Amino acid sequence: MLSSLEPYARTRDADPAGAELLPPRVTDDESLRRPLRVALISNPTSGQNARRGLLAGIHDLLRTHPGVAHFQERTFDGIAAATREAVGGDSEIIAVNGGDGTVQAVLTSML
């Protein structure tokens, strides 16, 4: 599938056939290289975070990566608001730390 995209990727669009083509982000040009802008949306009450203390390890890791926007939300409305803020804040990658419900809330908010 990815190999069929060749050197271009399609933007997200309701009609993929009409999507605009964008040049690839990967480049050998050093002047164009920069870190990706990442947002992480965590649900502290999800199973792994609540039972195994995963969130504490994530906090430790994020101390060395201060550029990562980290949102901690427990409710659908909070997760939706965090997702909108991450999308509006020019994040290129939105990572989700939570269970199925957290992932569903993020995806629903993006669509």
Q: By percentage, how much of the chain surpasses pLDDT 70?
A: 70
Write down the pLDDT at residue 90.
Answer: 81
Q: Assign residue 64 the CATH number of its domain.
A: 3.40.50.10330
- pTM equals 0.69
Write down the pLDDT at residue 3.
Answer: 43
Task: Answer whether residue 70 is part of any domain.
Answer: yes
Task: Answer whether residue 26 is part of any domain.
Answer: no
* pLDDT of 25 over the 90 cut: no
Query: Total structural domains in the chain?
Result: 1
Range of the domain at 46: 34-110
* pLDDT of 70 over the 90 cut: yes
Task: Answer whether residue 14 is part of any domain.
Answer: no
Write down the pLDDT at residue 34.
Answer: 74
Give the three-class secondary structure for 80: helix
